[in-house]
Amino acid sequence: MRLAQRVNRLGTETAFEVLATVKQLEAEGRSIISFAIGEPDFDTPQNIKDAGCRAIQNNETHYGPSAGIMPLREAIAKYISETRNISVKPEHVVVTPGAKPIIFHGILACVDPGDEVIYPNPGFPIYESMINFVGAKPVPLPLVEEKNFSFDVQQLRSLVTEKTKMIIINSPQNPTGGVLSKEDLEAVAELAIEHDLWVISDEIYSRLVFDGEFRSITAIPGMQERTIIIDGFSKTYAMTGWRLGYGVMNEKLAETVARLETNSESCTATFTQWAGIEALTGPQDRAEAMAAEFRRRRDLIVEGLNQIEGITCCKPGGAFYVYPNVTGACKRLGLADSREFQRYLLYEAGVAVLARTCFGKRNQGEDQEYVRLSYATSTEQIQEGLARIKKAVER
């Protein structure tokens, strides 16, 4: 039996494969400190869990509208209006099971075969996968260490052709933790307006900005109507398993994305959406405490990594990832690249990290080695993990 050709173009998120290996090694009795998976180690705040349970008891267990229940769309519209300084109506909002479907459906709705889409590299692997899947050409935009993992504006300009249809940005960023500056956002906006491009602005880590305020490209005049904001509940409220996210976009596109929802998921689980309303409109102290804790851990892990021979790590502005340069460590250990380093740390030190290659192919001329560590794990685990890496690298 033959599968459709398009599935050959589908990529994946290797973090889930590493997670499976970690679970297997643990089942064999190995002790593994995992910095591999990008999800908060905290539990969902109690008031949100209670709201979800209440909704089930109240029989909010039926089909709902494909774009999401109106009270949640209203709450999201209010929240996005206030935090992005723009005017959002509920009709601009599409609620989905997690933020990921907005990447899938947003690209499906806006990009034709043969179009070109510029996306960050290293970056969240689903962008490249989906661009390929719809038959478009992925055009990687290198993020460079010297610019704190932002991009070179001239280089971005040089990548735009008459076939370019969309630019994807992600700030704060996975895997680097980089945050785009006002000037970077303005450069993207200028190009998007000049060439009439869509922008996907993946803002899933918007509540995890540690130095200064979060900035959205949609606040720049002319950008709201051409931008799809991606946000959700997974990272801010530790709700990864609830599957609740959303997109904010112009009304016509929102209707199209909702129709794609009708054709795929029908709707997002109704009781989950009631929990989402509590998350957005209830007390924010737990979310704020989690963000403060992530910031503390960032400082701890950056300091610890910089004390290891052959590893240098710049301080990222957001998310819960660090992306250290491990070129020196690879050389010391006689390892060819970050993939070998990932394997070495897992099997020799019992530490799980993700190699640079989990986030896209090496850019042209890229000669340094990197790994991503998610510090969404306890202080004790971070300290133990750092000690193990140090011992294994400096042996």
User: With binding defined as CB under 6 A, does residue 234 bind ligand PLP?
Assistant: yes
Judged by CB under 6 A, does residue 360 bind ligand PLP? no
177 binds ligand PLP (CB under 6 A): no
Minimum distance between the CB of residue 313 and ligand PLP, rounded to whole angstroms?
Answer: 19
Is residue 350 at the binding interface for ligand PLP, with CB under 6 A as the rule? no
232 has which bridge partners? 245
Quote the least distance from Cβ 138 to ligand PLP, whole Å: 16
Task: Tell which positions 26-55 bind ligand PLP, by CB under 6 A.
Answer: 38
Closest CB to ligand PLP among residues 34, 327: 34
Whether 334 contacts 348, CB under 8 Å: no
Among 204, 229, 257, 392, the residue binding ligand PLP under the rule CB under 6 A is 204
Nearest residue (CB) to ligand PLP, 170 versus 377: 170
Is residue 174 at the binding interface for ligand PLP, with CB under 6 A as the rule? Answer: yes
Assess 100 for contact with ligand PLP (CB under 6 A). Answer: yes
Minimum CB distance to ligand PLP, residue 133 (Å): 16
**Closest CB 202 distance from ligand PLP, rounded Å:** 5
Which range touches ligand PLP (CB under 6 A), out of 81-89, 92-100, 269-277, 384-392?
A: 92-100
Is residue 247 a contact point for ligand PLP (CB under 6 A)? Answer: no
Q: How far apart are CA 327 and CA 75, in angstroms?
A: 46
What's the half-sphere exposure (Cβ side, CA atoms, 13 Å) at 359?
28
Tell me how far, at minimum, the Cβ of 60 lies from ligand PLP, in Å.
21
Which residues would be at the binding site for ligand PLP (CB under 6 A)? 38, 98-100, 124, 170, 174, 202, 204, 232, 234, 240, 245
